[in-house]
């Protein structure tokens, strides 16, 4: 046993390292990696592991590189949880990390006073097919062997063991305390933040079981652990179990806090997400819609309100695709979800969403026109919506074509005083004003009012005419007598 020349990782990009005598310096993290490897192999299957440490231990290991077992014995220590005497290593080389701090905080706690400035590659007997991230390298009968630490592959090993030992000791004494469980929940939260989800799941389960036993199932801390466990399960793709946990959490929160409490609505949103991942689209849509409406009432234009709106959009998009496949593009249910999705995208208001809403409204308009005819109320509703989304994108002239066509057909089919006709008229006049065609807008309204006096509603919204032109009906009559005709470009 001794040392052999070693690149930090055979698959590593050489540009990530510079070389200084017997070390490779990883440029991004500054970690110095020994250019050789401590060879502890005994002829059986082997693996290369990486031991992060400080300068003192690094020098001790590398200066006595021909005495591998002795070096390991002197550098090692008694590991927790009965793992024996040795060191803890990881299969991740320096290029895996963004910084030394990430080595220490995100995954590997380091051995000597929390330092990870140096790294020693170690070749030792190990099961090469194992994908464990954390390994204990220990001595057995004068032979060094590495074995995966089961259940710890995604965690901050020593800290996790310490928390577990604290909990187990408290349970053995019958003195499990809320503080212990809070520590375990906090550790799981940190693991989840660092995307180490299996370890986070294990500790959230520990916290949940302990809190249910100690605090009761309806306690806020218990429900917090329940929600957190549901979230981490969902992130790992276990949507069915997550759904069951979310349902339990929502039921408890509704009883204790009420249906419109922000925490309850978070649970409702989480349940909707779990249902969506399983393809339970209709139920998911209903929960997203409930959470959106309640958040809109309770929170207004809040980030969580937008979160529910985004979820509702995704559910409707999935439902639309499902209806297109199962019922066909012309089916009424397909068309209904087409319109719903377009309205959601329009309400969201980003450039991309407005462009997609325009395409969907156009598809809805063309489809309804073929099915029901141009003058059908639903066709003209789609046409008006298309005009509005064009206006939101500053396509003013194109929007005007939609509003003028909708007004002309609604006037013939529904009458001048119908609310839908009046809506088309208002939107058309707005477009004329936006285009700077104030005289055309004025003459259009004068033409309408030549047959009847303006309504109170019209007086309220009519934008720019002088008051004396609006109030007396005689003013409209005088315009008629003077034969002020509306330009062809307006009609």
- Tell me the pLDDT tens digit for each residue of 209-222: 889 988 999 899 99
Which domain does 103 fall in, by range? 3-153
Note the pLDDT of residue 123. Answer: 83
Q: Residue for token digits 């991230």?
A: 133
Note the pLDDT of residue 62. Answer: 79
Number of structural domains, the chain? Answer: 1
pLDDT in tens, 20-52: 878 889 888 888 998 888 877 766 667 788 888
Q: Residue for token digits 């510079």?
A: 18
In a domain, 14, yes or no: yes
In a domain, 266, yes or no: no
Q: Residue for token digits 């652990």?
A: 225
pLDDT in tens, 414-461: 887 788 888 888 888 888 888 888 777 777 776 666 555 555 544 444
Which of 380, 446, 455 lies closest to 417 in space, CA to CA? Answer: 455
Report whether pLDDT(174) > 70.
no
Judge whether 416 and 398 are in contact, CB under 8 Å: no
Alpha-helical runs (H) found in 215-330: 220-235, 239-257, 262-277, 281-299, 303-326
Report whether pLDDT(487) > 50.
no
Better-predicted residue by pLDDT, 92 or 167:
92
Structure tokens at 88: 């803890």
In a domain, 78, yes or no: yes
Better-predicted residue by pLDDT, 173 or 37:
37
Note the pLDDT of residue 147. Answer: 77
pLDDT average, residue stretch 111-134: 69
CA distances from 166 to 76, 157, 181, 361 (A): 24, 14, 10, 61
Which of 48, 136, 45, 133 lies closest to 86 in space, CA to CA? Answer: 136
Output the average pLDDT for the chain: 76
Note the pLDDT of residue 456. Answer: 53
In a domain, 54, yes or no: yes
Report whether pLDDT(55) > 80.
yes
User: Concatenated DSSP letters for 141-159?
Assistant: TTEEEEEE-TT-TTS-HHH
Note the pLDDT of residue 232. Answer: 93
Cα gap 369→363, rounded to integer Å = 10
pLDDT average, residue stretch 276-282: 86
Note the pLDDT of residue 169. Answer: 57
In a domain, 243, yes or no: no
pLDDT in tens, 353-396: 888 888 888 888 888 888 888 888 888 888 898 999 998 888 88
Note the pLDDT of residue 483. Answer: 38
Note the pLDDT of residue 44. Answer: 62
pLDDT in tens, 144-163: 778 777 544 444 444 555 55
In a domain, 103, yes or no: yes
Report whether pLDDT(185) > 90.
no
In a domain, 26, yes or no: yes
Q: Which of 90-104, 241-255, 442-456 has the highest mean pLDDT?
A: 241-255
H or E segment to which residue 36 belongs: strand 36-40
Which of 96, 100, 57 lies closest to 76 in space, CA to CA? Answer: 57
Residue 121 pairs with which residues in a beta bridge?
50
CA distances from 80 to 3, 105, 163 (A): 28, 19, 12
In a domain, 75, yes or no: yes
């Amino acid at each position: 046993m001794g040392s052999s020349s070693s690149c930090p990782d055979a698959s590593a990009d050489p540009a990530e390292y510079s070389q200084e005598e017997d070390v490779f310096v990883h440029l991004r993290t500054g970690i110095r990696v020994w250019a050789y490897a401590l060879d502890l192999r005994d002829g059986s299957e082997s693996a290369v592991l990486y031991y992060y440490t400080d300068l003192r231990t690094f020098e001790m290991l590398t200066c006595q590189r021909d005495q591998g077992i002795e070096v390991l014995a002197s550098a090692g220590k008694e590991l927790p949880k009965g793992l024996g005497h040795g060191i803890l290593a990881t299969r991740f080389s320096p290029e895996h990390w963004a910084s030394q701090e990430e080595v220490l905080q995100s995954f590997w706690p380091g051995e000597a006073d929390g330092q990870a400035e140096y790294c020693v590659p170690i070749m030792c007997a190990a099961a090469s097919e194992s994908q464990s991230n954390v390994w204990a390298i220990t001595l057995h009968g004068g032979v060094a062997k590495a074995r995966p630490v089961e259940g710890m592959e995604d965690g901050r090993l020593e800290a996790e063991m310490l928390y577990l030992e604290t909990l187990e000791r408290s349970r053995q004494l019958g003195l499990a305390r809320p503080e212990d469980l809070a520590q375990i929940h906090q550790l799981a939260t940190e693991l989840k933040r660092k995307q180490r989800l299996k370890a986070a799941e294990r500790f959230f389960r520990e916290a949940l079981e302990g809190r249910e036993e100690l605090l009761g199932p309806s306690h806020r801390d218990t429900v917090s652990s329940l929600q957190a466990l549901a979230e981490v399960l969902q992130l790992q793709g276990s949507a069915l179990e997550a759904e069951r946990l979310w349902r339990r959490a929502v039921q408890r929160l509704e009883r204790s806090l009420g249906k419109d409490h922000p925490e309850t609505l978070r649970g409702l949103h989480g349940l909707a997400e779990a249902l969506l991942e399983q393809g339970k689209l209709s139920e998911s849509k209903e929960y997203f819609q409930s959470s959106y409406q309640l958040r809109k009432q309770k929170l207004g234009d809040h980030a969580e309100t937008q979160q529910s709106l985004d979820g509702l959009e995704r559910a409707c998009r999935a439902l639309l695709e499902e209806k297109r496949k199962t019922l066909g593009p012309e089916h009424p249910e397909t068309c209904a979800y087409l319109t719903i999705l377009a309205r959601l995208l329009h309400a969201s208001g980003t450039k991309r969403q407005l462009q997609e809403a325009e395409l969907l409204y156009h598809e809805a308009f063309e489809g309804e026109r073929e099915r029901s005819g141009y003058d059908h109320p639903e066709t003209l509703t789609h046409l008006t919506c298309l005009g509005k989304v064009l206006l939101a994108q500053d396509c003013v002239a194109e929007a005007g074509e939609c509003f003028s066509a909708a007004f002309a057909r609604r006037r013939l089919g529904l009458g001048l005083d119908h609310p839908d006709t009046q809506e088309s008229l208002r939107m058309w006049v707005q477009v004329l004003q936006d285009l700077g065609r104030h005289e055309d807008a004025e003459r259009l309204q004068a033409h309408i009012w030549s047959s009847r006096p303006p309504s109170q509603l019209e007086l309220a919204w009519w934008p720019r005419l002088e008051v004396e032109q609006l109030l007396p009906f005689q003013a409209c009559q005088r315009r008629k007598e003077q034969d002020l005709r509306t330009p062809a470009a307006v009609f």
